[in-house]
Structure 1
Amino acid sequence: MDPLPLLQDLICCPSVTPAEGGALRVLEAVLTPLGFTCTRLRFGPKEGEEGEAVENLFARRGTGAPHLCFAGHTDVVPPGDPALWTADPFGAELRGGLVMGRGATDMKGGIAAWIAAIASLPRDLPGSLSLLITGDEEGPATYGTVKVLEWMAAHGHTPDMCLVGEPTSRAVLGDTIKIGRRGSMNAAITVQGVQGHSAYPQRADNPVHRLVRVLHRLTARPLDEGSAWFEPSTLQVTSVDVGNPATNVIPGTAQARLNIRFNDHHSSASLTALLHAALRAEEARYRLEVSCSGESFLTKPGPFVAALAAAVRREAGVEPKLDTGGGTSDARFVAHYCPVAELGAVGTTMHKADESTPVEELRRLSRLYAAVIRAQLGLEPAA
């Protein structure tokens, strides 16, 4: 099966997150003849809660072990300013050996390549294969992968291992396998003071000065020097705001926002404690709000990762780097259930105008995925 027509059909679905756009119908139409049982899963907010409902798809063929799951998303980011595009973002135009369109790389191309890989293999494979496809990866990720995984666990579908098809390759196909990601958390700090005239500071309590000292405590030295598999954690001040239009008024409050990307030396709980300690050290009266979109995770090199790397060496002819860099992905949710890694296309055009993927690279990715499936189901040695 050639992955190109399937990718073109998917690109033509305007599935800007969280819209389904017809993409899941396209997948159901191709997976059902391949022997998969498809289950559409719709999750959304309860009555009175904010948010939009999301359509997701779970498809499985076979019931035995090992159970290999492929996780991906059909939702895409908005195309942005149409003047920046030279092709229709949802037209799937072929141009100079490229297929153009939103999602060509991130990550409808990966989904098309995986399904084409399955179609190229015998039906009587050992074990079982499944796909977890969400429409909520580019959005809040509230009603997508995390909810489908809960449903899978409740219905006896927890996989033994999972590959996420994000575009991880940097320069050439297969050069990077992501085996973990740093955690990410945001913090909003409000320091309370006493408003007053700037000519009479003794009658006020300037919260800006106190906030500046707190931020200095937090940024004066690195959080850590990195770990065996992770680069150093980072704490970035992303906003400092007083909202004071007057030049002669000491404000009553001062706010700051932080984003922290953290490795396995930390957790969101330990970092929250660190923030509290810095604020208390400056005797601040404050309010601290934190939100964590994902803890750090690591799939330590073992049989699963070894089989992935062996497949890359055989099919792509490169030695893959095992990496934990970049932002977050839905792999952070999968890590709670089974070993997970990420392997996909070269991601140089993802989220850009004129997003595209080379047709030949798409076909090579499909062959690589076929080698991955054979390796993970024990049909080839991990060497």
Structure 2
Amino acid sequence: MSEVRDLTRRLVSIPSHEDERAAGDAVESWLREETTATVARDEDGNVFARRGDGPRSLAFVGHHDVVPPADDQVGANGDEYVVEERSGRLHGRGTADMKGSLAAAMLAFRDAEVGAPETPADPVDQLVFASFVGEEQGGVGARAAIDDGFAPDYAVVGEGSTGYSAPGVTDVAVAHKGRRGSTIHARGEGAHASEPEAGENAVYRACDAVDVVRDLDAPETTVLGQHLSGSVAVTEIEGGSAWNVIPEDCAVTVDERTVPGERAALERVESAPGVEWTVDQDLPPMACDDADFAATVLGAAAGVQDGSPERVAKPHATDAGWLAAAGTTCVVCGAAEPGEAHTATESVDVEVLERCERLYRRVAESLVA
């Protein structure tokens, strides 16, 4: 029997798209029953466990919330998610994103034989496990934990990194993009459309701002040999009240994919008359700032699989962005493959889950005194 498969099935079966408490209860109770670690639950619902004592720490980080399931991912009574195993894969909401890797991290946290690290001259003192709430709502749990003082020196965030360099290979992501969503507000003066010169057309002003966006250069950077290209695009426009009225308001939504250290100069849109720019969401990118730590995790990945893992970059944000912004050295390494998360056919390979459990355990044993 595969323990990581069984634990994944247990966690995935618990609904956690609206209320994460039951899933948090399951994580917390397992840690209390299966480990001798110090276990805590904060007022936001985040679950923490610690092995060892001292100022320097390595954390395995995940989250136990999920996006809303598709209809056929929910059981007939509505009180459980459907979990099925077919052809060596577990299918169900949260299998890939990310209760599978969370289960692997829990088992590695329990079983790692720490105390004689192989790699560093300056090892870390504590092994930490953290499972956050609200990752799918923009990192609510991670941000709250950081505000409360959660500050590991190093973190392996268990979001997906499998299948980036080659199918089936679990890679190590040393960077990922962020997302800044913003709105351009254009204001004018209404008038009857038969006399357009009597007003100021807010849509025209918004179009002037859109021209500024179109001329902006997308940000680019390189992290540990991985090139990241950002993007900036207008995605929505809304304005006007009637076919015969010169519009006095217009709003334009902008989606920007950010890269570490670089942003598009969107503030330039305010050079257009009557235009204001506001940021609605800013999920930070991540860049690993320690090549030795990345090499340690990559070595662990190479040691648990036949393929040749590589350093890679992810296209979307994770809680690693919040941790990195707060000073934690991060990589992202997990079982999910591109295209699995948030889908009606979400699944994860059981063999890769077992691989990730071994990988996480190797990282801990390489670093924690």
TM range (shorter): 0.7 to 0.9
Query: What RMSD, in angstroms, separates the aligned Cα atoms of the two structures?
Result: 2.6
2:296 corresponds to which of 294, 298, 307 = 307
CA positional deviation for 1:107: 0.7
Q: Distance in 2 between matches of 1:173 and 1:95?
A: 17
1:227 alignment partner in structure 2: 221
SS class of match (2:181)? strand
CA positional deviation for 1:237: 0.5
SS class of match (1:231)? strand
2:23 alignment partner in structure 1: 23
Give the aligned residue type for 2:30: V
Normalising by structure 1, we get a TM-score of: 0.83
2:81 matched to 1:80? Answer: no
| Post-superposition CA distance 1:252-296 (Å, at most 9, x none) | 1222111111223534xxx5xx3343332x3x1133321342333
2:198 corresponds to which of 194, 203, 207 = 203
1:167 alignment partner in structure 2: 160
| Post-superposition CA distance 1:301-322 (Å, at most 9, x none) | 5211010111111212333332
Give the aligned residue type for 2:236: S
CA positional deviation for 1:71: 0.8
Normalising by structure 2, we get a TM-score of: 0.86
Q: Distance in 1 between matches of 2:57 and 2:290?
A: 19
Work out whether residues 174 and 312 of structure 1, in 8 Å CA contact, stay in contact via their aligned partners in 2: no
1:319–1:114 Cα change, 3 Å? same
2:291 matched to 1:291? Answer: no
2:334 alignment partner in structure 1: 344
1:151–1:195 Cα change, 3 Å? closer
2:122 alignment partner in structure 1: none
Q: Distance in 2 between matches of 1:23 and 1:35?
A: 21
Q: Distance in 2 between matches of 1:188 and 1:366?
A: 42
Work out whether residues 20 and 135 of structure 1, in 8 Å CA contact, stay in contact via their aligned partners in 2: yes
2:237 alignment partner in structure 1: 240
1:61 corresponds to which of 51, 55, 64 = 51
2:254 corresponds to which of 238, 241, 258 = 258
Aligned length: 351
Work out whether residues 61 and 128 of structure 1, in 8 Å CA contact, stay in contact via their aligned partners in 2: yes
Work out whether residues 132 and 145 of structure 1, in 8 Å CA contact, stay in contact via their aligned partners in 2: no
2:353 alignment partner in structure 1: 362
| Post-superposition CA distance 1:209-242 (Å, at most 9, x none) | 2221221122135334x22234222111011111
1:172–1:64 Cα change, 3 Å? farther
Q: Distance in 1 between matches of 2:316 and 2:167?
A: 20
Matches within 5 A, 1:6-45: 6-17=7-18, 19-32=19-32, 33-43=34-44
Taking only the aligned residue pairs, the percentage that are identical comes to 26
Give the aligned residue type for 1:228: T
Give the aligned residue type for 1:240: I
Work out whether residues 173 and 346 of structure 1, in 8 Å CA contact, stay in contact via their aligned partners in 2: no
Give the aligned residue type for 1:329: T
Unaligned runs of 5+ in 1: 44-54, 379-383
| Post-superposition CA distance 1:112-165 (Å, at most 9, x none) | 1122223443365663211111121112433x0111123244xxxx32211100
| Post-superposition CA distance 1:32-83 (Å, at most 9, x none) | 232111111123xxxxxxxxxxx11111111146521011001111112338
CA positional deviation for 1:21: 4.5
Work out whether residues 13 and 81 of structure 2, in 8 Å CA contact, stay in contact via their aligned partners in 1: yes
Q: Distance in 1 between matches of 2:42 and 2:74?
A: 35
